[in-house]
Amino acid sequence: MIDLAACAVILIVGLPILLLIAFVVKVTSPGPIFFIQPRVGKNQKVYKIIKFRTMTGTPDEDATCWTSTDAARITPIGNLLRDYGVDELPQVINIIGGDMSIVGPRPPLPVQVETYTHEQRKVFLMRPGVLSLAAIEGRRAISMDERIASHVKYVENWSLILDFRIIWRCLFVVLGRKNVTEVLTDDNGVIKK
């Protein structure tokens, strides 16, 4: 109920902003407005996540790490949209459709799930979220394994109070543009120092 009520407010109040962002994405680089990609959610159900497009070209569906090649593909306004989390706003559609919540573990790519341990698969006990515990514990500045560990910790310790705490702290993380630099890896997935 909280998810749906919040999404209704975002769509009603934020519609002009969403339309403006869609226009800017379209006119600043060639390609579609939205980036749609398969992700794995609750009970390992695959669904299509929706974001504003922030990169040029076609993404590598098998990529599991952020590389310098990916960084070079960011559009003129892509970093701004990503740093402030604005690219995630279209996920209100995923929330309304029941595939996501406002807060939860971030949904992985299907290829990433193949490497998950039994412990890490606990993340599939809950619907994935737009905001996550990992976002306030390091965001893009921590490794993928650390992010997954945060997602598992969230599932094991879930409470409504924890959700509200994550929402509140995410405001400061996003507005303060904290930990916006992605952990870069080489072509073998080794973290670059």
Q: What mean pLDDT do residues 53-66 have?
A: 71
Give DSSP secondary structure letters for 107-161: PPPHHHHTT--TTGGGGGGS--EEE-HHHHHTGGGS-HHHHHHHHHHHHHT--HH
Model confidence over 103-126: pLDDT tens digits? 999 999 999 999 999 999 999 999
Model confidence over 114-160: pLDDT tens digits? 999 999 999 999 999 999 999 999 877 888 899 999 999 999 999 99
Is the per-residue pLDDT at 50 higher than 60? yes
User: What is the pTM for the complete model shown?
Assistant: 0.83
Q: By mean pLDDT, which of 64-78, 103-117, 174-188 is the weakest?
A: 174-188
CA distance 25 to 81: 9
Q: What mean pLDDT do residues 1-29 have?
A: 92
